[in-house]
Structure 1
């Protein structure tokens, strides 16, 4: 397995430099095509007029969106002009998450920016939380302050769920290029540690059969939230990338109560590969 096509989702009114840099590096490492994609649509104001005045407003706003999408294409092509391989741009006047998720059919992996915990505009931004649920492809979330894809150390956040299994399989091309890989599962208080250790060892053995050497670890759950504990472990091993399953519990539970996926998308200091 490899990545033959890398897609990067750009956003209006958001920094795009980090995700463009990482997507370009990913395409170079795997000699892959790179596809830039963006979409936005006019968001009617809460109190809207009608008639000719309304049409003028719609025309002005749609023209502005088209100009801004064109500016994103210029930024994308400038960032990729020195890179070899096929380069393609796709954009539309559409809801961003819907358009990007549809275009993801042509890609092996989608690169997106992170997202602040604050409310985001679904008319102008393809939220990574929506993309990971809808795109049907692994999502690489790149925080704005990241300027390269650091694969010297990778942390696999294991939980025995279908989402985590899918994430490890989706990350395999990157794991083959990583220097140090740590698989960690945070053991709950009521779990048998030997059973947890067996699960993590199984994952390490599976990776070994694919030519990837990894260290298996079991960590006892502490008083802090699992997401915070996971981030601390990532810092301890110097991880430049975290691999994790997305929304192993219901998304509603994570949205209301908070959870690992929410934290990784909104607050992690490092790149995160998520699969659902």
Structure 2
């Protein structure tokens, strides 16, 4: 049997990572073994460096002024079970930057011990959106986009039989808030008329969002738009030609009328002179 020295203890945290969804609140538990009251101990929560204080409890009260700016007003120490050696750090409005490791440490006099807890932040992004373009070569480019994921998602194209299709290209970008946006595309030949599925998967939550697309319908819609655009252009050309022709004929008629009037006036003048 292991005998603990006087005032000695071990700090324990959860063995598995704590998972929290973006914008929610989460709790990181920490406890002492053997069980003892921790109300008069110094309790600190830090990130990778001791100077990166997330929350500090000392001399029987919280010390919010010691915390990093990004955690001000976003942490609470749950003290309901302190007499049993258990504390929980509550983080409000979880952000992507909260992802990572935390060190929970207890100090009683000169004795100090701590444990590391991992927090995994996760966010499901938007449903995939398609953009289809048909080229003159009869090749079809299908682009799939989705936004607002954390961490970086996994992307997969599948055909109607569930087989995986390699992407032509795939890019991941991160916005100022730390969320990932993904864009992926396929380039299909004319003979490749299949139903496609664009699937985007969050590895932390083990959840995905996917959307299906019928290439035949997409190509038909794309060609319909092209034909409608051509017809509209031709209609506009015919209309402009008609207007131009009408203006030309109208000007011609006016010029003829002017010429005839001039001839009539000249004849009348000549007749008057001959009578005189």
Same fold (TM over 0.5): no
Higher CA-based Rg: 2
Greater helix fraction, Structure 1 or Structure 2? 1
Greater strand fraction, Structure 1 or Structure 2? 2
Task: Please classify the TM superposition score into its range, dividing by the shorter chain length.
Answer: under 0.3
The one of the two structures with greater contact order (alpha-carbon pairs below 8 A, sep at least 6) is: 1
Question: What TM-score does the superposition give when structure 2 sets the normalisation length?
Answer: 0.19
